């Protein structure tokens, strides 16, 4: 069966191939979620969704990932459960969550576009309507900016669910930040600090990080506190000493962290 999901080279810096642990309860739960989401999105007969789950979960388990893993996927889906009443099309939002980091290489900047294109190929095979497929692809592309337009309730739910990690308690946020750094282990420290600080400043400059009522109430304040604390930690050493020469920034796709979180 052609799942529309190409087999990718999952060999990373570890020299191993990414596979999913079928004995992991989280994996079993994700498979069940995928089946339920596809069923809800088609309302009709459709091909067996299991092979699509296999390929997606393999992609999410590639060895170059440290934060953008199946654990992140499960967390985003759990947050969508909380926010779903705010969405116009919860099934489309859940499908978009599955695809939003399905293609992820930390040294590339077109991950969201490639992930959206993947959804556009795979979902019609599953019997998803053209309109819903287009909505899923639009939502995946929206995660480039996490800036949904007013009234875009589907976009608000997906973006809030994706950004909710920023509102974790201090140990959880520290683990998230460490995992992001590990994904960019190939980036020199100075370049990473510069790029990461730019991302944090962009987020803090937004009038609102979260757009749903729940996100605004529960996640906005702790997220801003975490972002501010990380930015202070990243920039404080630079403020103590004056460098002899300006820092040479790398090309975007070579070493600097991309715009995503």
For 210-252, the pLDDT digits (tens) are 999 999 999 999 999 999 999 999 997 554 344 444 434 344 4
Q: 2 pLDDT exceeds 70?
A: no
Average pLDDT over residues 143-152: 95
Q: What is the Cα–Cα distance from 258 to 101, expressed in whole angstroms?
A: 13
Give pLDDT, residue 54.
Answer: 95
Cβ atoms of residues 136 and 95 within 8 Å: yes
- Structure-block tokens of residue 29: 């739960």
Q: 110 pLDDT exceeds 80?
A: yes
Q: What is the Cα–Cα distance from 182 to 201, expressed in whole angstroms?
A: 21
Q: What is the 3-state secondary structure (H, E, C) of 42-72?
A: HCCCCCCCHHHHHHHHHHHCCCCCCCCCHHH
Q: What is the Cα–Cα distance from 69 to 91, expressed in whole angstroms?
A: 21
Strand ranges inside the chain, DSSP E = none
């Amino acid at each position: 069966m052609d799942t529309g999901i190409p087999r990718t080279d999952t060999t990373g810096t570890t020299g191993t191939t990414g596979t999913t642990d079928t004995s992991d309860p989280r994996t079993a739960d994700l498979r069940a979620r995928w089946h339920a989401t596809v069923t809800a999105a088609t309302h009709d007969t459709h091909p067996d969704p299991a092979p699509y789950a296999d390929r997606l979960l393999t992609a999410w388990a590639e060895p170059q990932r440290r934060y953008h893993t199946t654990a992140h996927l499960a967390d985003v889906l759990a947050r969508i459960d909380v926010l779903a009443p705010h969405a116009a099309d919860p099934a489309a939002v859940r499908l978009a969550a599955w695809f939003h980091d399905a293609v992820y290489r930390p040294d590339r900047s077109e991950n969201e576009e490639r992930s959206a294109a993947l959804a556009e190929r795979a979902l019609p095979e599953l019997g998803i309507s053209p309109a819903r497929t287009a909505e899923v692809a639009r939502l995946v592309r929206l995660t480039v900016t996490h800036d949904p337009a007013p009234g875009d309730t589907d976009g608000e739910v997906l973006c809030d669910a994706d950004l909710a990690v920023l509102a974790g308690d201090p140990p959880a946020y520290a683990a998230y930040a460490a995992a992001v750094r590990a994904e960019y282990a190939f980036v020199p420290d100075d370049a990473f600090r510069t790029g990461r600080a730019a991302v944090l400043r962009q987020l803090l400059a937004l009038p609102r990080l979260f757009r749903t009522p729940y996100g605004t109430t529960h996640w906005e304040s702790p997220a801003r506190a975490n972002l501010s604390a990380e930015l202070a930690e990243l920039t404080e050493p630079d403020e103590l000493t004056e460098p002899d020469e300006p820092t040479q920034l790398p090309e975007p796709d070579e070493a600097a962290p991309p715009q995503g979180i």
